[in-house]
Amino acid sequence: MSGPVRYASVDSPVGPLLLTADGEDGRLTSLSVPGQKNGRTVQEGWLHTPDLFRAAGEQLAAYFGGELKEFELELRSEGSEFRERVWGALGSVPYGETTTYGAIAARIGASRAAVRAVGGAIGANPLLIVRPCHRVIGADGSLTGYAGGLERKTVLLSLEGVL
C-alpha cells in the first residue's frame, strides 16, 4: 500500500456504495454499504478522489441498469491464502446463477468439513457486488447470511433474475 486511502461514494438501488483504493493505482480494495458487517467507513486522512473511481461508478451504474453482467475492474484484496482462493471462486459464479457454500468448497479443493470456513471467508469479502458473494445461497436454497443484509441480497438476486 502506498499513501492514504482514496475513496468515493456512488449512489445505487441498495444505498450509497463506499469505494476505496489504497494508493494512486486505482485498484479497488473495498466496496461497502451502510451498516455492513465489517464494512469500511470514511476515516480521517482519507482522500476523496471521485475521478479515480469513474470506471467503477460507470460499471456499477450499468450493472444496476441491467446492462452489465461482468465487471472489468482492477481489484486488490488482502487475505489469507485460503480466503483468496475462496474469493477467486466467487468471481467465477456467473451473473444470474447461484451456488452453495459446499460447491465453493469443492471448487477450491477444500474438504466438506471446510464449509464453515468457506462461509467465514465469504462473509469477510471486502468487495461486495463486484465479487459476487450475494450469489452464494444455502444448500436448501435459502437466502443465507449476507454482510450487506438479506434485503440487499434479495435486491441483487432479483436484479439478476434469480428470484
Residues identified as active-site: 133
Query: Residue 86 is placed in which grid cell?
Result: 475462496
Identity at 36, one-letter amino acid code: Q
End-to-end CA distance of the chain: 39
Do the bridges between strand 28-32 and strand 17-22 make them parallel or antiparallel, or are there none, so unpaired? Answer: antiparallel
Residue from 95, 109, 104, 74 nearest 157 by CA: 95
SS3 117: helix
Task: DSSP for 28-60, please give it.
Answer: EEEEE-TT-TT-----TT-EE-GGGGHHHHHHH
